[in-house]
Amino acid sequence: MTFITIFMLVNLLAVSIVSIPIDVTFFVPLKADVNGDCIVDIFDLAAVGKAFGSQPGDANWNPDADMNGDNIINIIDLATVGKEFGSTC
């Protein structure tokens, strides 16, 4: 194989790779989807409500309900679920 032949094969391969259609779907996780079922609904609101007032170490602490990551479940977390209520993945 000559250098030119190799060069042409590499270019042909590159063109083939570039021309392959790519269908990519991105799923953006919902911050307020506490139970991970791709919809922000009453179950997520209930999960935040159940953990309301808790901090790490408390029996009802749920890290997934801590929307803003400040280690306390409070009105801000509840409001975040309310803001995204009805959203889907």
- Cα–Cα distance for residue pair 38/59, rounded to 1 Å: 26
Q: List binders of Ca ion among 3-42 (CB under 5 A).
A: 33, 35, 37
Judged by CB under 5 A, the stretch of 12-20, 50-58, 64-72, 79-87 that binds Ca ion is: 64-72
Q: Does 44 bind Ca ion (CB under 5 A)?
A: yes
Minimum distance from CB of 77 to Ca ion (Å)?
Answer: 4
The count of chain residues that interact with Ca ion, using the rule CB under 5 A, is: 8
Minimum distance from CB of 87 to Ca ion (Å)?
Answer: 9
For 33-68, letters b (16+ CB in 10 Å) and e give: bbeeeebbbeebbebbeebbebeeeeeebbeebbbe
Q: Does 70 bind Ca ion (CB under 5 A)?
A: yes
- Cα–Cα distance for residue pair 84/89, rounded to 1 Å: 11
- Using DSSP's 3-state secondary structure scheme, residue 23 falls into coil
Per CB under 5 A, residues contacting Ca ion are 33, 35, 37, 44, 66, 68, 70, 77
